[in-house]
Amino acid sequence: MKKLLTLASIACLLVIGAVANSQIICEWNLTASIDPGTGLPVQGGSGTYHVVLVSLGGNSYGIAAYANNDGNAATSLVPGTAAPPGPIPKSGVGKLSFNFSATGGGLITTTATNATNTANLPYLYGGFPNNFGGPNNVAFGTAAGSSGAGNWGISGGSTLFFNAADETFFLTPHADWTHSADGILYFPGAGGNLMFGYFNLDASKTLAGVSASFQDSGQQYTGTCGIVPEGSALAMVLPGLVPLGFLMRRRRMKASA
């Protein structure tokens, strides 16, 4: 138990980037994709995954992904066998892709600057069994091995793609990390893996939004987040500042009269 607490203490302070002007510019959840033919979640997907997009200054960014502690828990006591009738377990994911849309339309080209790493913690229950889930109810720590830390595959272009080296790197389905206000420090709740990658965006384009797709075990999770560019945000504030400016001017005129 002492060793477990020590490892937890080390893992709870994951420094993603020591950049003074770093800030979260988008944060959202991915939900299970719906099969348009049946109106049901693809392969019985449930629960959500969490994404945090952090600006590190200039055209440099970081993106973090982890599981929320939700969705269907394991329904079978026999690892690697088909789940019995009923809810299919939430799946772990190891294929993560992101597309960044530009103001005015089109996608922004990405350049991967660093391989990604998982921040590992001994996988804790947190109210849910340790499993990778999916239609075959793959058990964590059995068919998939122990949770590991190391480099993910990463590629840029019109789609930023992260691929887990093996199942030990997967974002396990029930984790639930929390983070500081600027997205720099991450604190594990129920445990599991956190994925973080560094990349650049084409500096000639203005970021308007980002979409993400996570998948494995046949399940798929998708979600988007819109971004208000700094210039647009200022334009939204200016109409409210004009009356204030007139009011201050009138007060100065009265004071000088």
Determine, yes or no, domain membership for 245. Answer: no
pLDDT tens string 80-109: 666 666 788 898 899 999 999 999 999 999
Q: Comparing C-alpha atoms, which of 30, 36, 69 is closest to residue 50?
A: 30
> Which distant-in-sequence residues (6+ apart) come within 8 Å of 118 by Cβ?
147, 148, 149, 150, 152, 169, 193, 194, 195
Tokens 């003074």 identify what position?
Answer: 20
Determine, yes or no, domain membership for 153. Answer: yes
Residue 203 one-letter amino acid: A
Determine, yes or no, domain membership for 156. Answer: yes
> What residue numbers bound the domain in which 135 lies?
2-226
Of 51-60, 64-73, 76-85, 121-130, least confident by mean pLDDT is 121-130
Domain count, the chain: 1
Copy the structure tokens of residue 248: 């201050």
Determine, yes or no, domain membership for 238. Answer: no
Cβ-contact 56, 22 below 8 angstroms: yes
Is residue 132 packed enough to be buried (19+ CB in 10 Å), middle (13-18) or exposed (0-12)? Answer: buried
Copy the structure tokens of residue 132: 């990778």
Confidence check: pLDDT of 18 > 70: no
* Residue 199: alpha-carbon gap to chain centroid: 14
Confidence check: pLDDT of 71 > 60: yes
Per-residue pLDDT at 38: 93
Determine, yes or no, domain membership for 58. Answer: yes
Its pTM surpasses 0.85? no
- Which secondary structure element, helix H or strand E, spans residue 120, and what is its range? none
Copy the structure tokens of residue 114: 């660093």
Determine, yes or no, domain membership for 146. Answer: yes
Per-residue pLDDT at 148: 58
Determine, yes or no, domain membership for 136. Answer: yes
Mean pLDDT of 67-87: 74
Confidence check: pLDDT of 19 > 60: no
